[in-house]
Structure 1
Amino acid sequence: MNITKEQTGELTATLKVEVKESDYNADYQQELKKYARQSVIPGFRPGKVPVGMIEKKYGTAIRADSINKLLNEKLTEYIKEEKLNILGEPIPNSEKGKIDFERQKDFDFYFDICNIPEINIELNASIELDFFQIKPTDEQVNKQLEHLRVMYGKEVEVEMVESDTKVDIELRELNDEGVVVEDGIFSTCNVLINQYSAAYATERLTGKKAEDVLTVNPIELFGDLKSAADKMAVDKSKLEDKPDSFELKIIKIQRRELAELNQEFFDKAFHEKGVSDVDSAKQEVEKQMQEYFSNDGQFVLYNDFIQWMFDNTKINLPDDFLRKWLHSINENKPSMEEIDKELVNVKNKLQTEIIFNKLKENYPQIEVNYDEVKESFKQQFKKVLKVYSNYGDEEADKEVESFIDEWMRNKKNNNEIENRFQQLHQEKVLDLIRNKCTIKEIGVTFDEFNNIMKERKRDTLSENDSASHHDDEEHHDHEHSEPESENDQE
């Protein structure tokens, strides 16, 4: 058996594999005998079927299996021995030779390969990146403190539905005549009337009082089908095609009064932070908001670093090979038109993978393992238990250990676990570039940062008008929302 390589492009090559009958015949004969022993054919005792009969009936398929097994084995050995770093697996090239397993004894197989380009990523202090340090304004701090006072305030009943009230309601399904359906859908839930409410809910309920009854569309009441189904605790299919088909009765209307600025409030809102007066409360709020905004600054820093790697790494993957490769690995065998629609995205993903693989090779400390992810969740769960269940350190440790392994094995949590892998990986990359590169901190306000991101988005869209841009430069293109309290985020 002989394998030779012919270079067909800067990165592409064709492997020619010459297979003689002597290369595969021993395995082929052994497989024939094995098949004869296992076959059950009328007129022959089990295990006594003549090999010649098996060869006549199944020989072509068995020969093909033996040859393909040999090909896979020898190609893998060749690629390893020649230290070829290729994209995916070798692709059979049927254009260079026709194969007839029934008539041929000797074969020439051809496979196309694409070498992953050699790149170099070396981080040093000459690489300059900006980190936006976002400082909240006094107005934002005061607004957040008021939000906490609302959150920890007491609920009191009020007479009429107004802004910032919670309305406890009963919903009953109606038939086409507007009569309550016996054994129909019945739900007790609530509607919040505030700046985030659906306009329909605000219009229909504002000014109403307890015991008032009206007919509503629950989907519009809660904003969309999923929200309505979740709120009413029913299957989505039961709410579809039911416009204005529910009777709503108002049971109770409540509003939260602002909590007093006293030690009881400080202890609830700033658990174990040592807050004892308004000034220290504002300082803690400002600190929490800066930590919250820091996530946005780090996100931009991370994306800027990715952009730097793309700008400073030349990777020209050949389109023709990628089209063949995508066609070969896709079971549905898409058309070339369908492949071309996805080609840019695929190239960007492959480039990202190649770049990050090289980064991991040069800086293995950015790798994230399972135990690190597990420990991250353990610390998260312990914190929740200590805040909400008043567990001590030892008690929280014991409780988390009792369920963490089962939680990690539960397939329902796979997405959350994968996201945590990505989060920890990003944190390690950020630590790496802070240690290796020059990071310039730029102090900005909340509004200044948003304006900078809007300007970046406009520049990116302008570039996209003239040339395709890779997917990974997804800079922040939305304005910040105010951060919730530390307890809200648990």
Structure 2
Amino acid sequence: MNITKEQVDDLNAIVTVAISKDDYSEKVEKTLSDYRKSANIPGFRKGHVPMGLVKKQYGKAVLADEVNKLLQDALNNYLTEEKLDVLGNPLPKPQDDLNWDADDFTFEFELGLAPAFEVEFTKEPVTHYNIVADDKMLDEQVERIQKQFGKLVGHTEVIKDSEITATFVNEEKEINNQATFTFDKLSEIAAEKFLGAKTGETIAIGSKELFADLHDLMEVLKVSHDDAHDLDVEVAVTVDEVNKRDLAELNQELFDKIFGEGKVSSEEEMRAKIKEDAEKQFEQQADQKLLNDVTESLIENTSFDLPAEFLKKWIQQTGENPLSAEQAEEEYNKSEKGLRYQLIEGKIITTNDLQVQFEELKDFAKGFIKTQMAQFGQLEPADEEVENIAMRIMSNQDEVKRLSEQLMSQKLVKFYKENANLEAKEVTYEDFVKEAYA
């Protein structure tokens, strides 16, 4: 067997595999001999069919199968040994005139080669957000906790900050539903009408005037999003019950209930704990934003060509269903950006030795398991239990893939923080949402 490569250009090559009779004859003969032992052909006892008849009936099929196996193994080994970084898979060149009666065969394959390039971070800085929990957020969170653990006190009329239970009726649209909502959900128009309304009183109001948010209308009327969007009818709202939630006192009983006994002993410590927990969550969001922004910057500023025509042909020929040239080009255009980043990311990982190793992936899985168990009250699980769960997870390919991607994202974020040109910016969460996702 002889394998040669013709370099068409930097991104394309043709590999020629020449197979001679000596390469396949022994395997073909063995396979045909096995066929002879088990062949059932009328007029002959099993195992006594003449070899000539076996070759006539099965020879070409066996030959094609053995040559194809030999060809695939040889090609894969060649790509590995020559360390050829290919995109997609080798595409066989059409051979309509292939003669299976010949002794020697020659096959050609088109290769799309990965481009050579270097990754450099741009001088233009990427914003690295440091999201802080400001006093406004802490005040709101403390009040939310006080409301959650406070006591409901009944009232005879609607007041601000009240919780209202009411029945909503419209006979035309067959609406008859009771729901509870807070006063602050009402629109300005509805708030004026409801303020001071006594229990048992019925208020007539247009459906579009009820709530500031369409989703609240969907919930209280039990209608679909489309129906709620188009709904414009008068609704009779009967106030059934009015309650106001008195805020819970900030005392040791409340602190122990929320954070565990003795963990927090003052409002100041409570606010510090809320701030710490919130900013841990914010850091994850800031890291994801950083990863996305550095990715976009690298794609935009790392220039290299791709074997576009080869890849379009590969997409056209190797999909589940045959594609036209136009469809293949459309698919290529959709996937080109992702392919570019795969190459860039692969280069960064290889150059900087960021590959995920089995032991560190297992340790990462253990950390994930301990976090999950802590949420269910198991703060100090036995090492053996965690080890057993981790090994079960590591035996699941889907879980391994998911955890590997998470760990790799963490590694890349750490690498970008240490090497990319970043510009730190401290913002509140509210400003982060406005600025980062506008």
Structure-2-length-normalised TM-score? 0.74
In structure 1, give the amino acid aligned to 2:47: G
Determine the structure 2 residue equivalent to 1:147: 144
Q: 1:321 to 1:405 in 2, by over 3 A?
A: same
Is 1:19 matched up with 2:19?
yes
**Residues 167 and 192, structure 1, Cα contact 8 Å, conserved in 2:** yes
Partner of residue 60, structure 2 = 60
Match of 1:404 in 2: 389
Paired residues of 1:164 and 1:192 also in contact (CA < 8 A): no
Q: CA deviation at 1:162?
A: 9.7
Q: Does 1:325 align with 2:310?
A: no
* Distance verdict in 2 for CA 1:118–1:385, change over 3 Å: same
Gap change, CA 1:255 and 1:309, over 3 Å in 2: same
Please give the secondary structure, in 1, of the residue aligned with 2:86: coil
Q: What residue number does 1:78 align with?
A: 78
The residue aligned with 2:211 is none
State the secondary structure of the residue aligned to 1:90. Answer: strand
Is 2:343 the partner of 1:383? no
Task: Kindly report the root-mean-square deviation, in angstroms, between the aligned alpha carbons of the 2 structures.
Answer: 4.9
Equivalent positions of 1:216-227 (< 5 A) are none
Is the alpha carbon distance of 1:331 and 1:195 closer, same or farther for their aligned partners in structure 2, counting shifts above 3 Å?
Answer: farther
Matches within 5 A, 1:168-183: none
Q: Is the 8 A contact 2:41 2:49 kept in 1?
A: yes
Deviation at 1:419, TM superposition (A): 4.4
- Greater shift, 298-307 or 111-120, is seen at 298-307
Are residues 1:137 and 2:134 paired? yes
One of 356, 359, 374 as aligned partner of 2:365: 374
Q: How far apart in 2 are the matches of 1:35 and 1:162? A: 91
- Preserved contact between residue 21 and residue 105 of structure 1 (Cα < 8 Å): yes
- Paired residues of 1:382 and 1:397 also in contact (CA < 8 A): no
Instruction: Name which one, 1 or 2, has greater alpha-carbon Rg.
Output: 2
What is the percent sequence identity of the aligned residues? 27
Q: CA deviation at 1:158?
A: 7.5
* 1:296-307 mapped onto 2 (5 Å cutoff): 296-307=285-296
**Partner of residue 428, structure 1:** 411
SS at match of 1:88: strand
| Code of the aligned partner of 1:57 | Q
1:170-213 Cα distance to aligned partner (Å, 9 max, x none): xxxxxxxx9xxxxxxxxxx987668789xxxx9xxx99989x9x
Residue of structure 2 in register with 1:309 after alignment: 298
Given the alignment, which residue of 339, 345, 350 partners 1:361? 350
Number of aligned pairs? 410
From 281, 295, 311, the counterpart of 2:284: 295
Equivalence for 2:425 = 442
**Are the equivalent residues in 1 in contact too, given 2:362–2:394 (CA < 8 A)?**
no
SS of residue in 1 equivalent to 2:107:
strand
Give the conservation status (yes or no) of the 8 Å contact 2:315–2:331: no
Distance 2:390 2:155 in 1: 48
Task: Choose 139-148 or 61-70, whichever is displaced more.
Answer: 139-148
Judged with a 3 Å threshold, the aligned counterparts in structure 2 of structure 1 residues 167 and 105 are, in CA distance, closer, same or farther, namely: farther
- 2:102 equivalent to 1:117: no
**Which amino acid in 2 is paired with 1:342?**
E
Q: Is the counterpart of residue 477 in structure 1 residue 437 in structure 2? A: yes
Residue 127 of structure 2 aligns with an amino acid whose one-letter code is D
Aligned CA distance change for structure 1 residues 196 and 295 (closer, same or farther; 3 Å): farther
Report how far residue 69 of structure 1 moved: 0.9
Structure richer in strand, relative to its length: 2
Structure 2 CA distance, aligned partners of 1:409 and 1:422? 14
C-alpha separation between the residues in 2 aligned to 1:46 and 1:168?
86
Amino acid at match of 1:379: K
In structure 2, the partner of 1:215 is none
CA distance in 1, matches of 2:160, 2:66: 76
2:120 and 2:302 in contact (8 A); partners too: no
State whether residues 162 and 193 of structure 1, in contact with CA within 8 Å, keep that contact through their aligned partners in structure 2: no
Residue 106 of structure 1 corresponds to 104
Q: 1:75 to 1:410 in 2, by over 3 A?
A: closer
Residues 10-40 of structure 1 show CA distances to partners (whole Å, capped at 9, x for unaligned) of: 2001112222333322222222112222323
SS in 2 for 1:316: coil
Deviation at 1:139, TM superposition (A): 1.9
Does 2:335 match 1:346? yes
Q: Distance in 2 between matches of 1:273 and 1:123?
A: 48
Name stretches of at least 5 consecutive residues in structure 2 with no aligned partner: 167-173, 203-213, 223-238
Alpha-carbon distance between aligned partners in 2 of 1:30 and 1:157, rounded to the nearest angstrom: 92
State the 1:426 CA deviation. 1.7
Retained in 2: the 8 A contact 1:31–1:62? yes
Q: How does 1:221-300 map to 2 (within 5 A)?
A: 257-271=246-260, 274-300=263-289
Q: TM-score, normalization: structure 1?
A: 0.67
The amino acid across from 2:28 in the alignment is Y
- 1:366 touches 1:429 (CA, 8 Å); kept in 2? no
**Are the aligned partners of 1:20 and 1:107 in contact in 2 as well (CA < 8 Å)?**
yes
Q: Classify the secondary structure of the residue corresponding to 2:127.
A: strand
TM-aligned CA distance change 1:359 to 1:89, over 3 Å: same
* 1:88 alignment counterpart: 88
Over 3 Å counting, the alpha-carbon distance change for 1:165 and 1:344 in structure 2 is farther
Gaps of 5+ in 1: 170-177, 179-188, 213-219, 229-249, 454-475, 479-490
C-alpha distance 374-294 of structure 1, shift in aligned 2 (>3 A): closer
